[in-house]
């Protein structure tokens, strides 16, 4: 019996390892989804909001999509932006918005590491 218990205990990995911020057993350790209720989700929402606040005629882009590749400095300053696919006009408007936007500084080194080079799939409201 003790051998069986040891085998069961040693085969279990923790749901939330110390170096991972996943919130479910099947979740990714670095999802950064807008809907995540952790510091990663908060950072993703703050970046998205910073872009959308500066977007000219925000509601004119309904249904349009653009995938952005963003590079940030630790203080939140945007170092580089590339629009790799999507509606050309919407992507151009997002690049212009990013040039005017003030992005939030990263709350920790772990959050920065997750977002330093990130991809955002943007969709017009």
To the nearest 10 degrees (0 to 180), the angle between helices 88-100 and 39-54 is: 100
- State CA 35 to chain mean position distance: 10
Domain 32-123 has CATH 3.40.190.10: no
d(CA 54, CA 31): 25
pTM of the model: 0.72
Q: What is the largest CA-CA distance in the chain?
A: 68
What are the tens digits of pLDDT across the range 12-70?
444 444 445 544 444 555 555 656 668 888 898 999 999 999 998 888 999 999 999 99
Alpha helices in the chain (DSSP H): 2-10, 39-54, 88-100, 109-115
What are the tens digits of pLDDT across the range 73-118?
999 999 999 999 999 999 999 999 999 999 999 999 999 998 999 9
What is residue 29's predicted lDDT score, i.e. its pLDDT?
Answer: 57
Candidates 20, 22, 35, 121; CA nearest to 70 is: 121
What residues does each domain of the chain span? 32-123
Residue owning tokens 């939330």: 16
């Amino acid at each position: 019996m003790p051998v069986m218990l040891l085998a069961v205990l040693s085969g279990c990995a923790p749901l939330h390892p110390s170096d991972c911020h996943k919130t479910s057993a099947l979740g990714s350790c670095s999802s950064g989804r807008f809907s995540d209720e952790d510091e990663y989700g908060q950072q993703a929402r703050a970046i998205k909001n910073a872009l959308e606040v500066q977007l000219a005629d925000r509601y004119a882009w309904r249904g349009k999509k653009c995938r952005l590749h963003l590079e940030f400095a630790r203080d939140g300053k945007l170092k580089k932006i590339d629009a790799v696919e999507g509606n050309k006009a919407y992507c151009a408007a997002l690049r212009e918005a990013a040039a005017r936007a003030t992005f939030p500084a990263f709350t920790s080194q772990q959050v920065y590491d997750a977002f330093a080079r990130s991809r955002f799939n943007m969709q017009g409201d």
